[in-house]
Amino acid sequence: MTVNRFENLEIWKNARELYKKIREAINQTALSKDFSLKEQIFRSRKYIMYNIAEEFELDDNKEIQ
């Protein structure tokens, strides 16, 4: 199977769900009041999806087994 867009990768979809769950967890706990840590976590969580997308764009072989 050939994947034409990184958004179609199951791992990217899972990373997007994790992104949302992290936001919910932060906002529903005492971490929401620790602005420095909260912002650091929010900044770092986006790099999960970013790294998947970047590697997909760099990879010439987009065949999924």
The residue range of the domain holding 65 is 19-65
pLDDT of residue 45: 87
CB atoms within 10 A of CB 53: 16
The predicted-structure confidence for 8-23, as pLDDT tens digits, reads as follows 999 999 999 999 999 9
Structurally, the chain folds into a number of domains equal to: 1
pLDDT of residue 61: 54
- 3 falls within a domain: no
Q: What is the mean pLDDT of residues 2-6?
A: 85
At 61, give phi and psi (nearest 5°). Answer: -95, 105
- 47 falls within a domain: yes
pTM score, whole prediction: 0.72
